């Protein structure tokens, strides 16, 4: 496993270089948005445009711009944003804890409830409990996240004259109660869709495992039902579940944009959206690289977890 992980990690620099090349030159294609347009108006002269372009570092040949940018990244300098002239890393560092908390809470809720409900529905197959949870799964996969999040604001204010906290960020270490009051309700609803998908996958894989010969043998030996389901059934169903969790993590990292927009939370999702609209090249270039790195590391972690779940898995 160690050699496999090292071999996968050895490809990271090459992949990151390719991603950076594609991102850098795609942003500068002739038909792409010109960031200089964000700073000009009808009275701006050509000479003033050239001054702005020179200040943004866009007057040099593209290969020279790329070499300068890669050199700065190698030194840990991510440049400054075009919009605010603030260091990109400072802007990212200020917003990253928000996204990490949203990600952790949403994935935790969707995994815990999805797997638990999936086990219950598989054990109680074709019962009223099973039908009820399957209706929940259809509901969870059908209702858009933004609709549930809007209901979270509207319904409590109508029924109980209560308005959930909106806007700002309070660190968990500064005020745990206020932090949880701000993030738990929306992330719980944000995890509904993932929980529904997780429940259906857990149910289907468990039902398939229940039909295997070793499950009948475990029951024939007189093992307790809970041990049969959890130790023999659920463990042998974890590989597809872990794969789904890995994809859910990468999708939610920037998928929290809807939550940030509705609850006025200044996170990476909004930052990336605004930067894309305004063609803020340093921010876009870094966030694309960061996303690529996150996806590759998440996929590696998922692949390595297979051997921990099932000792029969071998890496070559």
Number of domains in the chain: 1
From the list 153, 162, 143, the residue with the least C-alpha distance to 186 is 153
pLDDT at 306: 80
Residue 283 placed within a domain:
yes
Residue 3 lies in a domain: no
Asked if 265 contacts 212 with a C-beta cutoff of 8 angstroms, the reply is no
Check whether 147 has a pLDDT greater than 70.
yes
User: Would you state the pLDDT for residue 316?
Assistant: 64
* Segment of 17-31, 74-88, 135-149, 195-209 carrying the highest mean pLDDT: 195-209
Are 163 and 157 spatial neighbours (Cβ–Cβ below 8 Å)?
yes
- Does residue 102 lie in a domain region? yes
CATH of residue 150's domain is: 1.10.3720.10
Residue 34 domain-assigned (yes or no): no
Q: Are 265 and 259 in contact (CB under 8 A)?
A: yes
Range of the domain at 262: 88-309
Least confident of 161-170, 199-208, 243-252, 257-266: 161-170
pTM of the model: 0.81
CA 307-309-310 angle, to 5 degrees, is 65
How crowded is the C-beta side of 97, counted as CA atoms within 13 Å? Answer: 10
**Token pair belonging to 210:** 């229940």
- Answer yes or no: is 53 within a domain: no
Q: Is a pLDDT exceeding 70 seen at residue 74?
A: yes
């Amino acid at each position: 496993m160690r050699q496999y992980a090292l071999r996968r990690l050895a490809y990271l620099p090459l992949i990151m270089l390719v991603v950076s090349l594609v991102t850098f030159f795609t942003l500068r294609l002739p038909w792409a948005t010109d960031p200089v347009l964000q700073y000009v108006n009808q009275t701006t002269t050509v000479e003033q445009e050239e001054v702005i372009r020179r200040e943004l570092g866009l007057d040099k040949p593209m290969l020279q711009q790329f070499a300068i940018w890669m050199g700065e990244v190698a030194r840990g300098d991510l440049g400054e944003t075009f919009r605010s002239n603030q260091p990109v890393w400072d802007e990212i560092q200020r917003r990253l804890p928000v996204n990490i908390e949203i990600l952790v809470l949403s994935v935790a809720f969707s995994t815990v409830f999805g797997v638990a409900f999936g086990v219950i529905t598989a054990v109680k197959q074709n019962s009223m409990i099973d039908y009820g949870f399957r209706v929940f799964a259809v509901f969870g996969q059908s209702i858009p996240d933004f609709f549930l999040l809007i209901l979270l604001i509207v319904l409590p204010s109508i029924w109980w004259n209560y308005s959930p906290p909106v806007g700002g960020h309070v660190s968990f270490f500064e005020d745990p109660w206020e932090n949880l009051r701000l993030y738990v309700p929306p992330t719980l609803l944000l995890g509904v869709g993932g929980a529904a998908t997780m429940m259906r996958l857990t149910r289907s894989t468990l039902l398939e495992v229940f039909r295997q010969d070793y499950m009948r043998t475990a029951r024939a030996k007189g093992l307790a039902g809970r041990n049969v389901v959890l130790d023999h059934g659920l463990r042998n169903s974890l590989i597809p579940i872990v794969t789904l969790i890995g994809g859910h993590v990468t999708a939610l990292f920037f998928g929290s944009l809807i939550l940030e927009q509705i609850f006025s939370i200044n996170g990476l999702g909004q930052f990336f959206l605004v930067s894309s609209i305004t063609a803020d090249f340093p921010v876009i270039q870094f966030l694309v690289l960061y996303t690529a790195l996150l996806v590759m590391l998440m996929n590696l972690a998922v692949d390595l977890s297979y051997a921990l779940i099932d000792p029969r898995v071998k890496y070559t």
